[in-house]
Structure formats: C-alpha cells, structure tokens
Amino acid sequence: MNALTTMMLLPVIGSILVAVIPSDQVLRIKQAALGTTLLVAISGVLAWIKFDSSNTALQFVESAKWIPSFGINYAVGVDGLAIVLILMSVLLAPIVVLAGWNESEGGRWSPKVFYILLLVLETMMIGVFAASDVFLFYVFFEAMLIPVYFLIGGFGTGERAAAAVKFLLYSLFGGLLMLASIIGLYVISGANGGHTFDITRLSELHMHMSSMTQNLLFLGFFIAFAIKAPLWPLHTWLPDAAAASTPGTSVLLLGVLDKVGTFGMIRFCLALFPDASKTFTPMILVLAVISIIYGAFLAIGARDIKRLIAYTSISHFGFITMGIFAMTSQGMSGATLYMFNHGFSTAALFLVAGWMQSRRGSSTIADFGGLQRVTPVMAWTFFIAGMSSLALPGLSSFVSEFLVLVGTYTRYPVAAVIATFGIVLAALYILIPVQKALHGPTTPGNENLSDLNLREKIAIAPVIAIIVALGFYPSPLLNVINPASAHVLEVQGFTDPVPSESAGK
Amino acid sequence: MNFTAPVLNYALLAPMLIVLAGALVGVLIEAFAPRASRHNSQLFVTIASLVIALSALLRVRKQVSVSAAMGSITFDGAGVLFQASILVIAILSVFLIADQENFTALPAAVPGSDEERHSLQTDMRVTEVYPLTLFAVAGMLLFPLSSDLITLFVALEMLSLPLYLMAGLSRRRRLLSQEAALKYFLLGAFSSAFFLFGVAYLYGYSGSITFSGIQASIVGGSGNDVFLLLGIAFISVGLLFKVGAVPFHAWSPDVYQGAPTAITGFMAAATKVAAFGAILRIFYVAFANAEWQWKPALILISIVTMVFGSVVAISQRDVKRMLAYSSIAHAGFLLAGVIALSKSGLEASIFYLFAYGIATVGAFGIVTLVRDSAGEVTDLNRWSGLGKRSPLIASAFAFFLLAFAGIPLTSGFIGKFSIFSAAYESGSTAVLIAGVLSSAIAAFFYIRVIVLMFFKDPVEDGTSVVIPSGLTTTTIAVTSVITLVLGIYPAPLINFIASSAFFIR
C-alpha cells in the first residue's frame, strides 16, 4: 500500500481504537494514542529514508478517482519539501502526546475526545502536505480547522472559547477566499483542456490567464496562506490561540498548521501563478520584513511566556516568507529548513513553557526567577530551545536563518539588511526572559518546583537532540530539500542572480 | 364544438395521484374512524402513500414525455429528480410530524378558551395534519413538472393552502403560531395575485400559456417586450416569494418561528425544492432566450439575498429565526444556479437542493428535541451547554450547522463548490465573490451556536433534551448519514444527477 495513504490511515484506525476503549480507562486511551503516533512516526521515517532525493518528480504517488464529474481525484505524492514537512509533523505528534500526558485531563470533555481529535488532526496534517490535487488539499486545509477548534476551545485555558472562535473565523475567511480562487482555477482549466485539479496540470495554466486574473487568483491563495502563516497584519489570532491552547495543541498549531501557510505559498502561489508571484514580491517582502521586526518587538514586550513564543513565531514566519519570495535556491532551501527547525525549537519552547506553567500555576514571566537552581534540567532545556530560537550557531536554526539571509541578500539586499536587525532583536526577546526566569536569585513561590520527571525528559530529549544534531550536520535534510527547491524555481523560470557557492553544507 | 377527452399518461402521473389518493383516504379516516385509532392509521396511510409514490416514480424514471397530461405536465429527468427529492424529504419530515407533542389538540378552538382547556384536559388528538401534508406534497410534486402557467398556478395554490393551515397548528404559543399562519396567508395571497398578473401579461405577450409557446414567442421576437418584461417580473415575484428571496422574504422568519417545528422543517426543505424546481424549469425552458432581460435583475436579487440573509442572521437570538435567515441566505446561493443557466448549473442546483433539504430536516428535527416543561426552547441563550447535557444531539446539530456553512466533508461544501463554480463558469464573477464573502459572514453565526453549545456552561433553567422517539431518531440519523456521505463520497449521486438532469421543451 502507498506509504502516504498508510500514514494517513493509521491515525484514523487509532482514533477508532481510542473511541472504542471505555472512557474510564484513561491510561489505555493514552497508550493507544501514543502507540499510534509512534507507529506513524516510524512509517514517516521509513518513507523519508526511501525517498529518492535525486528524483525531482513527485514520489509515493497514488491517484484514485473521487468525484470524476468535477475532475477531482484522491491524489497524493510528495516532493522533497513536502516529505520534510511530513517528517516534522509525524515526529512532533508522539512528542506532543508524551509531553502532554496529563493535559487532556482538566478539559471540558474526557481525555478520549482529546485523543480522537488529535489523531484525526494528524491524518489531516499528513494529508494537507501530501495532497497533489488542489481540491483534496483544500478539503484537508479546511477540515483540519475543526479538530483544532475543539482542541483549543475544549481543552485550553483562560479565554479559550474566544480564542478558538477567533482562530476559526480568521482561517475560514482565508479559506473561503481560497475557495473562490480554486473555483476560478477550475473554470479556467475547464476552458483549457478539461476540468482538473491536478497540481501539475494546473501549473501550466498560467499561460492562459490574463495578468489581472492571475493576480486576483494569486491573492485568494496568498491571503489564505498569509492568515495561516501568519503574516503581519493578519497575525492577531495567533497569540490568543497560542496562549489559550494546551502546550501540545500550541506545538501542533504553530509547529505544523502554520507551516501549511508557508508550504502553500511554495506549492501553490509560486507554482500556479509565477507571474503574479513576481508582481507581488516587493509587497510581500515588505510584509515579511515588517513581520520580522514587529513580531520581535511584540515579543520583547510580552509578559506572558506563551504569548512571547507566539510573537517570536510571527517574526520567524517573516523570515520564512522572505526566504520563499526571494526566489533564490538558497532562500527557498533555507525557508524549508527553517520550517522544519522552527517546528522543533517552538515545540521545545512551548513544551517547557507548559511544564513551567503547570508547576507554577502561572505563565507570566515575572512570576518565575532562578529556576536554574531549583529545576536545572528544565532550565537548561528552555535555554537550549531559546538559543535555537535566536539562531545561535551550532544549533539548527542558525543554518536555516543564514541561508534565508544569504538567499535574500543576493536579490533583495535592503530587505535582508533590515531583516538582520531581527536577529539582534531575537537576542533581546530570548535573553530577557531567560535572564528573568532562569537566572538570578530564586524568587518566592519558585523554591519548591519539581524538575522534569522521566516521562518529560524522554519527550524533550529527541527534540533537543534534533536541534543540536541538525545544527552541526544539516545535510541529511538539505540533501532532500536542495534538489526540490531548485526544481521549484527552475520549473517557474527563476534563476539565482549571481552564481554563488553552495552554502550551508 | 367538439370536446376531446384528455389523454393522460397514468404511469407518469402515478406518484402525484397516489399521494392525492392517500390524502383523500386521510380525510375519510378523519371523518369516520374512531378518534383513538386515527393517529396510527393516518401515519400508516401517509408513509405508505409516500413510499408507494416514490417507488412508482422510480419505475418510470427513465421515461420522458411532454404530454403526460395534454402538454400541461412535462415529465423529464430533472422533474424525476425534483419529485424524488421532495418525496424523500417528505418521508423524513413525516417522521418528525408523527411526534404529536408539537401540535395543538384542537386547532379550531380559540386560544385561551374553555374549549381549548377542555381539549387539553381530555388529551384530544386531532390528526388533520397528515392529509394536509399529503395535499401539500401533491402540490409540490406537480409544481416543478408544470409546463404551462395555469397548471403552475394551480400547483402553487395546492402546495400553499395546506401550508398556511399547517403553520397555525402549533400546540404552544398558539397566538404566535396563528399570527404566523395569517401573515403567511395574506402575503402568500398577495404574491399569488402578482403571479396571476404576470400570467396575464405573458399571455398577452405570446398568446400562449405554455412554456414552449412563450419560448417560441421570445425566439420569434415579434411580441411587445414591455409585456414580456412585466410578465417575467411579476411571475418572478410570485415564485421568489415562495423561496424567501429578498425583498420577498419578510414572512419567512415569523412563519419559521411560529409554525410547529416539524412543519417548519418540512416547509423549509420541501417547499424550497419544489419552488426552485419550478423556477429552474420556467427560467431554463420558457425564459432562457430572454436571459439579457432577467439575468441582471436576478443577479442583483441573488447577491442581495445572500448578503442580507447572512448579515441579519447574526443578530438573531432564536434558533428558528436564525435558521430562517440562514435559509434566506441559501436561497441566494441557490439563485446562483438559476443564473448559471447551464447544465452544470442545473445539476449543481439539484444537488444543492437535495443536500440542503436533508440537512434542514435534520436540523429542525433536533430543534424539536430541546424542550422545557412549557415546550420547545428556541431561545439560543438557553441552548448553552447543550453539548454537556447531550453530546450526541449537540454534535449532530453542530454537524448540520457546519454543513450549512459549507465546511469540507459535509454535503454543503460539495453543493457550494458546484453551484458557485457553475455560476462563475457562466460569467457571474460578482455572484461568486458575493457568495464567498457571505459564506464567511454566515460562518460566524453558525459557529456562534457551536460555541454556545460546547464552550458555555449549561444554564439550570429546566431546559433539557428529551429522549427522541424512534421515528425522530431515524430522521436525525438518516439525515446525518446522508449529509456525511454526500460530503465524503458524493460521486454516485453527482453521476446520477448528471445522467438525468435535463429539461425537455
């Protein structure tokens, strides 16, 4: 059976399994969920190993007719970019389950519901990256909002209902704009050789569009992705949602779901509308640079640790978007690697922040102090994750941030130079909370916090390991990403402005 | 002068005749059977005649004839689809109607009179609602098949008159119910007058009352165009009134709210299918060649209807009124299919009508279950926390709302996609954009209800979800399954519609 389909089916089977276990056997339910996500992770790693990076065509291709009269197929297949993101998603899922072992309990509903939603979400996360049929992509893109909505609203803290609604409405609005564009594509494809949603055939369609049509359709897609990714000024839902969700949900929300936005920009905006992409690039770069700086300033001013992480993500998504629209191979590779790394460094930050919050009963930075003395392991994990977030050389984010900046500089030096200030600000927004919360004298209320237990250590260890390992040796990923991103650019007729040495290897 | 006996094709008329016969039997039961046995025998006769009618219809589904009744009735593929949808919806609605709690004991008694009190004390049950339903269904079956204006008018009155009565049968808040019935009747009579006026103009224009005759005159182009325009305008008023399009929608919120909920569901779903069937036939067959005369106006009405319905629904505090405005918005979406004036528009409209009708019956079925000691609770505030009280019912309702909102993996999404793409394909970009934007607005109030049910705590005021009877359970289960299946695998139905959706002249 097709590797991708198997990976999508496994969580569905797991969720049915969870559904039939009686609600009072909570441990069983958790074990079933963990087992399923581990199984998916293993098959994800196997698929990544089997992936032939020298082949730039879609791999693990499967296609079956779904709604033939509209030309809709169940069609999956991945290139180097998609497989890397799928790998990230399936690796994060078991970590989230293990790290948030108890977060499903205190919710509005029983833990069973939590794990069913989580597993269904995992299927859709894989599907959204794997879909090579635009309609199928859209179905996953929209349908995955529903489990997230209930995960935030049902199991979060604080203003969870409001945050969930804000998240859903922003996303639905973007999604509906995208639907209009998809309908536009569908109709144009019908006029040029028959209705289809096949991404390869649609990517040849831009030759038949007027530039006005292309611009409008591009905007429909781009706004949806810019809400998802989120880019300034469409970012306001993210801090609320991240602060209200459980740490695990936040990890999936920022680590995986938001990547759908940046992934979509590459897969759909660039591939389907190359001319419109060029037209809008200056505007998008301005937005990206504003996101980088503005997100960083918001992060510096944040009092709440979860909001802080959300703001840093806005800044990071600015970098990713900039790398994509720089239209250079380094920028594109850097952006993709950045997506992967951001997933793990954000996961580490959110998980540790969640543990700090559950121990201290507060997520305000000012409530913490001197954790390094009381809970050394937790403090060090947070520190390493923070260093990765500010892209310290030797940790994974450095490679990707460097590539993005180099790739942007070769074509848009001004943007790259301004964005570099984001790095300086990053040092501020990470070092300030590190100093306040971890160092200095232990403040009252923090004396008796317990350090990470074995389960938490097991959960966070692989994340830290990946962050450090990829910092020193990113080739296993870059070898897969580089040909794919070169291919994306080549197909659309973009070339690197100056011959440059291959960076980052 | 010779009198020619009419030639009737009984096989093709059988569905209507069977339903009418069932209605007459119902009247006889009402007159002669002992009171205690009436309910069961009426229910049996109603279901039996609807089921037999459906099977009679399926036997002749491949036949096509313009002379089923001397040119007054055209039997074609689209007609079969409309009739089948109406019958399926009617069967599911009768299951809801069978729950007698909703209906007044003695409709003729003045509210608050001794007579009424007596009827309640003796637990009287009057069952005229069944034959009334059958009469209405017979009218609805005739409506989309009529191919001359007189038959169309007769069908319009035949389906309307029983509905006026049925709207006034509510057991509780009888004054509101009777007010609704009266409003419906007065406005309905008014719109019928407009309709007749239009018939007169069209006869004056073409010298013919048949659709094909009118079409021939339009093609010939020898008539007075003022008469044609006035005729189309006045007939449209009468038809658009029935579907609740703005500005002819004023009755619908009051009637939806006042009528017994089971009747509201039946009316909302089945009337829409019948009326849109008639609209589609008259515009596709009779007026198609005058499209430049009516299309701009209809586009305007469609856009205004969807925007108005979506915007006003936001401020509703009563679930039935909210669903009324939502059905106004859906009428706007459905008009997009009329505007498309193409085969794909017709197919999309039929799919949309069926999917929407099924989901509507299901949603109103659930509304009948939320009650307190004084009857149904329709105040939305009192629905809060329903998810806690009765997770299954609340989930089903949420699912229907998501279908109305057009979220993927529900039938509503497929319907929305197909109808908007048909409209856009015919060149109505404005309809596509307005449709997408008002869908975004509409999502807001659907989601608000979901928030209320799931994320708010229950109010302790005696609101509870009653255990549904077997028949109501069947309806809710069947409608949910259809809505889900049509969302996941709609291909068989779409193919079936595609193979038989056509009008013959």
Q: Integer distance in angstroms from the first to the last C-alpha of chain A? A: 35
Name every residue whose Cβ is closer than 8 Å to that of residue B142 and which is 6 or more positions away in sequence. B16, B73, B151, B154, B155, B158, B159
pLDDT of B397:
92
Domain extent listing, chain B: 10-500
Percent of chain A residues past pLDDT 90, beyond the cut: 8
pLDDT of A330:
85
What is the Cα–Cα distance from B359 to B269, expressed in whole angstroms?
A: 8
Which of A326-330, B6-10, B301-305 is predicted most confidently?
B301-305
Task: Give me A134's structure tokens.
Answer: 């635009």
Domain membership flag for residue A70:
yes
Q: Which domain does A33 fall in, by range?
A: 3-491
Tell me the shortest Cα–Cα distance from B6 to chain A, in angstroms.
41
The stretch B162-181 carries a mean pLDDT of: 86
Is the confidence at residue B402, as pLDDT, over 50?
yes
Tell me the shortest Cα–Cα distance from B181 to chain A, in angstroms.
37
Is the confidence at residue A504, as pLDDT, over 70?
no
Average pLDDT, chain A: 85
pLDDT of B485:
93
Please give the helix or strand (H or E) that residue A77 lies within, else none: strand A72-78
Percent of chain A residues past pLDDT 70, beyond the cut: 98
* Residue with tokens 């209930």, as numbered in its chain: A150
Is the confidence at residue B266, as pLDDT, over 60?
yes
Q: Which of B408, B432, B440 sits opposite A142 (nearest CB)?
A: B408
Is the confidence at residue A213, as pLDDT, over 70?
yes
Structural contact between residues B339 and B279, judged by C-beta atoms closer than 8 angstroms = no
pLDDT of A503:
54
Percent of chain B residues past pLDDT 90, beyond the cut: 47
Structural contact between residues A350 and A385, judged by C-beta atoms closer than 8 angstroms = no
pLDDT of A502:
55
Domain membership flag for residue A37:
yes
Given the cut 0.95, state whether the ipTM is greater than it: no
Tell me the shortest Cα–Cα distance from B359 to chain A, in angstroms.
18
Is the confidence at residue A492, as pLDDT, over 80?
no
Strand partners, A78: A59
Contact criterion met (CB < 8 Å) for B451 and A165: yes
Q: Residue B494: its chain A contacts at CB < 8 A? A: 67, 69-70
Q: Residue A143: its chain B contacts at CB < 8 A? A: 407-409
pLDDT of A505:
47
Which of A88-92, A97-101, A153-157, A242-246 is predicted most confidently?
A88-92
Task: Give me B123's structure tokens.
Answer: 């637990």
pLDDT top residue among B116 and B278: B278
pLDDT top residue among A210 and B256: B256
Name every residue whose Cβ is closer than 8 Å to that of residue A443 and which is 6 or more positions away in sequence. A367, A368, A369, A370
pLDDT of B10:
85
What is the Cα–Cα distance from A434 to A427, expressed in whole angstroms?
A: 10
Structural contact between residues B144 and B81, judged by C-beta atoms closer than 8 angstroms = no
Give residues 423 to 462 of B whose Cβ lies within 8 Å of A: 424-425, 432-433, 436-437, 439-440, 443-444, 447-448, 451, 454-456
Q: Which of A139, A154, A177 sits opposite B454 (nearest CB)?
A: A154
Contact criterion met (CB < 8 Å) for B454 and A138: no
pLDDT top residue among B381 and B201: B201
The region that residue A71 occupies, defined by phi over 0 for left and psi between -120 and 50 for alpha, beta otherwise, is left
pLDDT of B454:
85
Among A256-265, A359-368, B206-215, B316-325, the minimum mean pLDDT is found in A359-368
Q: Residue A68: its chain B contacts at CB < 8 A? A: 491, 495
Among A294-303, A362-371, B86-95, the minimum mean pLDDT is found in A362-371
What is the Cα–Cα distance from B200 to A206, expressed in whole angstroms?
A: 51
Q: Residue A140: its chain B contacts at CB < 8 A? A: 408
Is the confidence at residue B394, as pLDDT, over 50?
yes
Percent of chain B residues past pLDDT 70, beyond the cut: 98
Is the confidence at residue A165, as pLDDT, over 50?
yes
Is the confidence at residue A221, as pLDDT, over 50?
yes
Task: Give me A24's structure tokens.
Answer: 């009072």
Query: For testing the chain A interface, which of B436, B437, B441, B488 should be mutated: the one with the most A CBs within 10 Å?
Result: B436
Is the confidence at residue B389, as pLDDT, over 60?
yes
Write down the H helix ranges in B287-390. 291-314, 319-340, 343-367, 386-389
pLDDT of A498:
58
Structural contact between residues A356 and A305, judged by C-beta atoms closer than 8 angstroms = yes
Strand partners, B210: B148
pTM of the model: 0.90
Q: Residue B485: its chain A contacts at CB < 8 A? A: none
How many domains does one find in chain A? 1
Domain membership flag for residue A218:
yes
Contact criterion met (CB < 8 Å) for A143 and B424: no
- The confidence band for B376, taking pLDDT boundaries of 50, 70 and 90, is confident
Amino acid at A307: R
Domain membership flag for residue A464:
yes
Could you please report the per-residue DSSP string of A201-263? HHTTGGGGS-HHHHHHHHHHHHHHHHHHTT-TTS-THHHHHHHHS-HHHHIIIIIIIHHHHHH
Among A392-401, A480-489, B100-109, B468-477, the minimum mean pLDDT is found in B100-109
Q: Residue A114: its chain B contacts at CB < 8 A? A: none
The stretch A475-495 carries a mean pLDDT of: 81
Domain membership flag for residue A344:
yes
The stretch B157-175 carries a mean pLDDT of: 87
pLDDT of B308:
92
Whether chain A has a CB inside 8 Å of the CB on B296: the answer is no
